[in-house]
Amino acid sequence: KQEVTQIPAALSVPEGENLVLNCSFTDSAIYNLQWFRQDPGKGLTSLLLIQSSQREQTSGRLNASLDKSSGRSTLYIAASQPGDSATYLCAVRNYGQNFVFGPGTRLSVLP
């Protein structure tokens, strides 16, 4: 059974810092992995989707990498801003299965 963990659980950084969020999964036979952002009391907004054949995806200041063999993905946020404050979740899909979500990393970017 796929299990997804995210480290750290919470992170507080000053504005302008570059930061890395980590996602680990136990079953490396994944189909794809998706990173989401969730603002308090809201639904999830998709940030990046990485297929199993890809090593990374980029969107603006965000870069997500995937290392299937080690069961890890990282989300890199460049030049963080207060508006980036939110909970970031990764979700992993195995072949023929539904997404399994991690518990999230709660990010605070201080002005």
Partner 1 sequence: EADIYQTPRYLVIGTGKKITLECSQTMGHDKMYWYQQDPGMELHLIHYSYGVNSTEKGDLSSESTVSRIRTEHFPLTLESARPSHTSQYLCASSEWTDRTVLHFGNGTRLTVT
Q: Which residues bind partner 1 (CB under 8 A)?
A: 31-32, 34, 36, 41-46, 49, 51, 89, 91, 93, 95-96, 98-99, 101-104
CB of 77 to partner 1, least distance (A): 19
Beta bridge partners, 42, equal none
- Do the strands 105-110 and 86-94 form a parallel or antiparallel pair, or are they unpaired? antiparallel
Q: Are 35 and 54 in contact (CB under 8 A)?
A: no
Closer Cβ to partner 1, 8 or 16, answer by number: 8
Closer Cβ to partner 1, 71 or 102, answer by number: 102
Which 8-state DSSP code applies to residue 109?
Answer: E
